[in-house]
Amino acid sequence: MEKNTPHDKGEVIQLLLKREGRIMLCLDATNPGVDVPSRFKKDISLMLILNSKMPQPIHIEAKCVYSELRFGGIPHNCTIPFDAIWSIFNPDTNHGMMWPESMPEAVLKQHQMTPFNELKPLPPHPEPTNRPKASAKKSIPFQVIEGGADPKTPPVKSTSKPNLKLVE
């Protein structure tokens, strides 16, 4: 395996988020610069999930990734230096990469003693999906009308629930 620079880890994060939407970061939370909730700071094999559909942004910089993540529903602004990351993969497809040189000794020994599923290399191009073709039917536009009012009249403040009305 080639020696990977910290920038390579950022590229893997971007690529997997773009292609697959969800990734798991495996990291050594004892590494200097890692900012996670204090109860996880001694975990040498912490796993964090990032998802491209999270409402908060994921910032990928030259030497770290940071975002607001939730732990038991409680938000925490996490900073993960690339030096702390030893694996990045999609837990659904197993596409990803490992950096054994970044693994803590105990984790490396555990992986050497216990057989584990190898990560699959990233596919060169997006894999084809078996999605059904879009039907020829035209989508029907809807418009929310407060209180069921006619769209030609000015809106009136109403406490009733909005209704959907077909717009032709």
Tens of pLDDT along 46-67?
999 999 999 999 999 999 999 9
Q: What class is the 6-113 domain?
A: mainly beta
C-beta of residue 99 within 8 angstroms of C-beta of residue 126: no
Tell me the per-residue pLDDT of 101-118, one tens digit each, with 9 for 90 and over: 889 988 888 776 554 455
Cβ-proximal residues to 24 (8 Å cutoff; 6+ apart), any chain: 47, 48, 49, 50, 87, 88, 89, 90, 91, 96
Angstrom distance (rounded) from CA 126 to CA 18:
10
Q: Enter the pTM of the model.
A: 0.65
- For the chain, give every domain's residue range: 6-113, 140-168
3-class SS at 30? coil
